[in-house]
C-alpha cells in the first residue's frame, strides 16, 4: 500500500523515509496522478485543518478518492468538539491521573508523535489518545484542577511546528508506524473488504462468546472479507475498515455508540447502527413506538414522579418496573406491594425522570426471535432461571444457577404469531440485527422489547442453522458493502 506524507511544503518533513513519498499539498489536490492512485495511506501534516483550508481538503479529497487519510474528516471534527474531548478524558481518567501525578506545575502539554512520546512514562497515555484521535502529530493540553488533572484541549501539530531536537524521534516513530501498518495490509491484501468486529474481552456477559466470534471471522473469510477483532482502544482505526460489527454491549452514553456513530459518518456499513442503538436502548421510546403502531405488548405506563400513583391503580400487583436504559435483566424489578413499589421508584427516579411500568405476565419462558435485514433468523425459548422470574438471575452466587435453560427451534416451527409480532416490532426500528423478546400468555403473544445487540452464542442461537447462521450475517455485510462501494443507496 503506497504511503504519502502530505505537507504544505515538502521541506516541512526534512528526513526521507524508505518507500514513503513526501508530497506538496497542492500537488496532491490537483495532480491527476495522485487522484488515480489506489489503496493509498495519506498522512496529512498540513499546517491547518480548519474548514476549507488546504489541510481540510487533503483529508476530504483523500476520502473521496478511496484513500485512507490520517486524520480523517471525522477525526478532524472530533478534535474540535469539546464534548468528545470530555468523554475521552472521562474514559481515560485513571490513566491520566497515574501518568501526570508526578508533575508539580498546574499545566502540562503532551506532544504525541504517531502514538508515542519522547518520555517513556507517557507512552501508554500517548497511545490511548492516539487511538481515539488518530492524527499523526497531536498536542494534548492538561490542567490540574481541585479534583485532579483534566484534558482541556487536543489539537494537531503541523510538521513545521515540530522542534528540531524532536525530529530524530519523530522519524523513528513514523518509520515504525508505517512498517507496522504496511505489514498488516499485506496480510489482508487478498480480501476484497475489511470488517472490524468490536468486542470486549473482559465482558463477563458478551453478546457473542469466543467460539461464535471465531465462526463470524471464518464466515467472513469464506466470502473474501477479512474480519479483525478490535477493542475500544482501536477507535482511531475505524477508517481502515469497510464495515463494523458491534459484538460489545451497547449504550448511548458509552464508547460503543461513539464507535457506531464514527463508523457510520465515515461511510462504513454498521451493525448496530447509531439509530438502532438510540431507539432500542431506551424502553420509553420502545413503549411509545409499539403502542403507536399497535404492536401487541403488555399493558405499559411511562410515569413521572407526579403520575407514579397510576401504577398501582392501573396495573395492580405484582408489576414490573424498568429503568429506561436497562439491559441484561439489570435495572428491571418486580414489585409486589405498595412499599416495594415506592422504594423501587425512589431508586429509579434518582437516575431518570421517567420510569417504565408494565403488567406482570408470569411465564416459564420467553421467546427470542432473531431478526436480520427484516427477515427472521432464529427462534429460541429462553427459560427462566431456577426459582426466579427472569431468564438471568443477577445476584446468584452460583454461576450455574444464574441462567435458565434454552431451546432453539427452526423458525418455521416457532408460533407464527410470535414471529409476526417480532417482525413487526423489529422492522419499526430498522433493518439491522435484532432480538425481539416475546411472551406467550393465555394464548396471546406480547412483545416485551426489541434488543439491537442480541446474543449470538455458539451452542445456543446457532443450534439449528449451525455455521449457516454466521454466513447469513456476513452475507448481509457483503451485500451492503458492495452496494455502498457501487454508490447504490
pLDDT score, position 240? 84
Q: Given pLDDT bands bounded at 50, 70 and 90, which one contains residue 321?
A: very high
Of 12-21, 61-70, 187-196, 293-302, the one with minimum mean pLDDT is: 187-196
The count of structural domains within the chain is 2
Among all chains, which residue has been given the C-alpha cell 460489545?
A: 248
Q: Which helix (H) or strand (E) holds 190?
A: none
pLDDT score, position 395? 63
What average pLDDT does the segment 435-453 reach?
95
Residue 480 and residue 424 share a domain: no
Burial readout 184-221 (b: 16 or more C-beta within 10 A, e: otherwise): bbeeeeebebbbbbbbeeeeeebbbbeebbebbbebbe
**How far, in Å, CA of 474 to CA of 483, rounded?**
14
Q: What is the pLDDT of residues 446-455, one digit of tens each?
A: 999 999 999 9
Higher pLDDT among residues 428 and 324, named by residue: 428
Q: What is the pLDDT of residues 150-208, one digit of tens each?
A: 999 999 998 999 999 999 999 999 999 988 743 333 344 478 999 999 999 999 889 99
Per the prediction, the chain carries an average pLDDT of: 91
Share of the chain above pLDDT 70, in %: 95
Q: Residue 239: which domain range?
A: 190-272+474-485
pLDDT score, position 31? 94
pLDDT score, position 489? 62
- Is 152 among the domain residues? no
CATH of the domain at 370: 3.30.470.20
Residue 481 and residue 432 share a domain: no
What average pLDDT does the segment 377-406 reach?
78
- Is 372 among the domain residues? yes
- Is 42 among the domain residues? no
Residue 409 and residue 480 share a domain: no
CATH of the domain at 260: 3.40.50.20
Comparing C-alpha atoms, which of 41, 65, 66, 16 is closest to residue 180? 41
pLDDT score, position 317? 96
Q: Given pLDDT bands bounded at 50, 70 and 90, which one contains residue 488?
A: confident
pLDDT score, position 266? 84
What average pLDDT does the segment 281-294 reach?
92
Q: What is the DSSP letter of 158?
A: P
Q: Given pLDDT bands bounded at 50, 70 and 90, which one contains residue 408?
A: very high
Of 160-174, 254-268, 289-303, 450-464, the one with minimum mean pLDDT is: 254-268
Secondary structure E strands in 172-287:
193-198, 225-230, 243-246, 269-271
Q: What is the pLDDT of residues 342-376, one digit of tens each?
A: 999 999 999 889 999 999 999 999 999 999 999 99
Structural contact between residues 440 and 383, judged by C-beta atoms closer than 8 angstroms: no
Q: Given pLDDT bands bounded at 50, 70 and 90, which one contains residue 73?
A: confident
pLDDT score, position 34? 94
**How far, in Å, CA of 144 to CA of 353, rounded?**
34
- Is 436 among the domain residues? yes
Structural contact between residues 436 and 430, judged by C-beta atoms closer than 8 angstroms: no
pLDDT score, position 137? 96
- Is 338 among the domain residues? no
> Which burial class, exposed, middle or buried, applies to 46 when counting CB atoms under 10 A from its CB (0-12, 13-18, 19+)?
buried
Among all chains, which residue has been given the C-alpha cell 403507536?
A: 292
pLDDT score, position 328? 60
Secondary structure E strands in 175-275:
193-198, 225-230, 243-246, 269-271
pLDDT score, position 327? 66
pLDDT score, position 324? 87
pLDDT score, position 184? 38
Of 163-167, 286-290, 384-388, the one with minimum mean pLDDT is: 384-388
Q: What is the pLDDT of residues 410-423, one digit of tens each?
A: 999 999 999 999 99
Alpha helices in 293-364 (DSSP H): 310-314, 338-349
pLDDT score, position 30? 93
- Is 348 among the domain residues? no
Residue 366 and residue 446 share a domain: yes
51: left (phi over 0), alpha (psi -120 to 50) or beta: beta
Structural contact between residues 178 and 143, judged by C-beta atoms closer than 8 angstroms: no
- Is 430 among the domain residues? yes
Q: What is the pLDDT of residues 77-102, one digit of tens each?
A: 888 888 888 888 888 999 999 999 99
What average pLDDT does the segment 33-37 reach?
92
Q: Given pLDDT bands bounded at 50, 70 and 90, which one contains residue 436?
A: very high
Higher pLDDT among residues 399 and 66, named by residue: 66
pLDDT score, position 183? 36
- Is 257 among the domain residues? yes
Amino acid at each position: 500500500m503506497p504511503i504519502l506524507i502530505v505537507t504544505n511544503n515538502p521541506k516541512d518533513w526534512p528526513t526521507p523515509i524508505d518507500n514513503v513519498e513526501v508530497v506538496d499539498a497542492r500537488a496532491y489536490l490537483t495532480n491527476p496522478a495522485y487522484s488515480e492512485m489506489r489503496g493509498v495511506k495519506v498522512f496529512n501534516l498540513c499546517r491547518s485543518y480548519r474548514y476549507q483550508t488546504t489541510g481540510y481538503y487533503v483529508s476530504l479529497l483523500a476520502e473521496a478518492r478511496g484513500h485512507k487519510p490520517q486524520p480523517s474528516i471525522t477525526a478532524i471534527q472530533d478534535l474540535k468538539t469539546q464534548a468528545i474531548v470530555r468523554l475521552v478524558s472521562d474514559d481515560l481518567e485513571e490513566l491520566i491521573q497515574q501518568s501526570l501525578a508526578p508533575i508539580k506545575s498546574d499545566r502540562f502539554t503532551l506532544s504525541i508523535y504517531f502514538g508515542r512520546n519522547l518520555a517513556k512514562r507517557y507512552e501508554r497515555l500517548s497511545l490511548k489518545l492516539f487511538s481515539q484521535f488518530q492524527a499523526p502529530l497531536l498536542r494534548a493540553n492538561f490542567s490540574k484542577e481541585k479534583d485532579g488533572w483534566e484534558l482541556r484541549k487536543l489539537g494537531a501539530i503541523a510538521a513545521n511546528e515540530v522542534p528540531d531536537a524532536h525530529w530524530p524521534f519523530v522519524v523513528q516513530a513514523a518509520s515504525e508506524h508505517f512498517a507496522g501498518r504496511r505489514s498488516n495490509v499485506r496480510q489482508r491484501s487478498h480480501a476484497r473488504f475489511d470488517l472490524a468486529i468490536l468486542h470486549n474481552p473482559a465482558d463477563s456477559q458478551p453478546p457473542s462468546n469466543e467460539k461464535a466470534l471465531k465462526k463470524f471471522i471464518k464466515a467472513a473469510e469464506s466470502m473474501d472479507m477479512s474480519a479483525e477483532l478490535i477493542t475500544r482502544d482501536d477507535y482511531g482505526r475505524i477508517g481502515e475498515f469497510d464495515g463494523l460489527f458491534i459484538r460489545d454491549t451497547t449504550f448511548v452514553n458509552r464508547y460503543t455508540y461513539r464507535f457506531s456513530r464514527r463508523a457510520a459518518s465515515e461511510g462504513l456499513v454498521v451493525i448496530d447502527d447509531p439509530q438502532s442503538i438510540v431507539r432500542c436502548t431506551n424502553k420509553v421510546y420502545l413503549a411509545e413506538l409499539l403502542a403507536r403502531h399497535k404492536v401487541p405488548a403488555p399493558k405499559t405506563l411511562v410515569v413521572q414522579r407526579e403520575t407514579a400513583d397510576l401504577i398501582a391503580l392501573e396495573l395492580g400487583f405484582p408489576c414490573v418496573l424498568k429503568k429506561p436504559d436497562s439491559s441484561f435483566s439489570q435495572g428491571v424489578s418486580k414489585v409486589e406491594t405498595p412499599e416495594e413499589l415506592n422504594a423501587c421508584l425512589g431508586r429509579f427516579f434518582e437516575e431518570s425522570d421517567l420510569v417504565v411500568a408494565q403488567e406482570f405476565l408470569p411465564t416459564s419462558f420467553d421467546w427470542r426471535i432473531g431478526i436480520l435485514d427484516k427477515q427472521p433468523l432464529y427462534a429460541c425459548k429462553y427459560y427462566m432461571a431456577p426459582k426466579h422470574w427472569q431468564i438471568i438471575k443477577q445476584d446468584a452466587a452460583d454461576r450455574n444457577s444464574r441462567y435458565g435453560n434454552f431451546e432453539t427451534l427452526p423458525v418455521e416451527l416457532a408460533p407464527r404469531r410470535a414471529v409476526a409480532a417480532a417482525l413487526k416490532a423489529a422492522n419499526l426500528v430498522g433493518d439491522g440485527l435484532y432480538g425481539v423478546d416475546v411472551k406467550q400468555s393465555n394464548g396471546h403473544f406480547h412483545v416485551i422489547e426489541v434488543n439491537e445487540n442480541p446474543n449470538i452464542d455458539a451452542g445456543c442461537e446457532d443450534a439449528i442453522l449451525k455455521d449457516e447462521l454466521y454466513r447469513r450475517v456476513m452475507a448481509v455485510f457483503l451485500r451492503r458493502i458492495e452496494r455502498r462501494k457501487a454508490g447504490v443507496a
